Amino acid sequence: MPTYSAPDTTQLAYHVFGEGPPLVCLPGGPMQSSDYLGELGGLSAHRQLIMLDPRGTGGSAVPEDSASYRCDRLVDDVDALRDHLGLDRMDLLGHSGGVNLAALYVGRHPERVDRLALITPSVWAVGIPIPGEVRRETVRPRHDEPWFPEAYAALEAIAEGRATADTWGAITPFSYGRWDEEARAYESAGEAQRNDEAAGVFAGEGAFDPESTREALGRFERRVLLLAGEVDPGAPPATVTEFAGLFPNADLVVQPGAGHFPWRDDPERFVAATEAFLG
């Protein structure tokens, strides 16, 4: 597993899959190791995937300063990776919570990014609200699935401010296009890959300045892909459409039947859409 040194000397790890033009990939969680990304459904057949383990996750060291888990401070880790790889400009992919980091990186270093792919994006960095009704509308087509009543009731409780730890767990099936034994095992493995302490710091006070980030993205003229899962309440298509509108040159793809991990729900469709964009 290759490593490099962050500006504060924390040793960070990354994983390399495939050959071809490099694509730097930022995992979500937030603050989850890149293991759950796998090879992005086979995208490694077309691109060399550079999968970063954020500090304190996977093979990366725990930093001395826990405040360095804050999203805006992680931008320097990404830029140090770009420099370590010898890239003047890189193609960058972010998934879910990692999209916040990708957005802040573009805001600070737009000249160092070529193609930008944002997959089922979190929107904290750009301050787009997601009304409860939008989330409910997104999942209603799944009403015939056996787990739906319990999960939908939990989603309503969250929207109404009545969430508990159990409530959050009950909506997990909505993240998957198919909630089967394979998805359950994948979800369980992902929980073990996340650094909960780091996740609690990631979006802390001062991490985001949505207005300035939105302005910066509006000046980013390179091509951008935003990909949403059709039935994903975490990044509803309506919200991802609004996010796409922040860029002057964005392509929007809504993957049919997909949840929050579209490369798992339909790898062939995901790879085709992503590779068509990356070229």
pLDDT, tens digit (0-9, with 9 covering 90-100), for 93-140 = 999 999 999 999 999 999 999 999 999 999 999 999 999 999 999 999
- Give the three-class secondary structure for 250: strand
Whole-number pLDDT of residue 165: 79
Is the distance from CB of 233 to CB of 241 less than 8 angstroms?
Answer: no
Q: Give, as one character, the DSSP assignment of residue 19.
A: S
Whole-number pLDDT of residue 160: 86
Whole-number pLDDT of residue 159: 86
Is the distance from CB of 160 to CB of 145 less than 8 angstroms?
Answer: no
Q: Which of 109, 119, 67 is nearest to 89 (CA)?
A: 109
- DSSP-assigned beta bridge partners for residue 15: 51
Whole-number pLDDT of residue 166: 84
- CA–CA gap between residue 236 and residue 140 (Å, rounded): 12
The residues of the chain scoring below 50 in pLDDT are: none
What contacts 92, CB < 8 A, 6 or more positions away? 23, 24, 26, 78, 102, 105, 106, 113, 115, 116, 117
Query: Which residue's entry shows tokens 């040159």?
Result: 249
Task: At 42, list the tokens.
Answer: 């086979």
pTM: 0.97
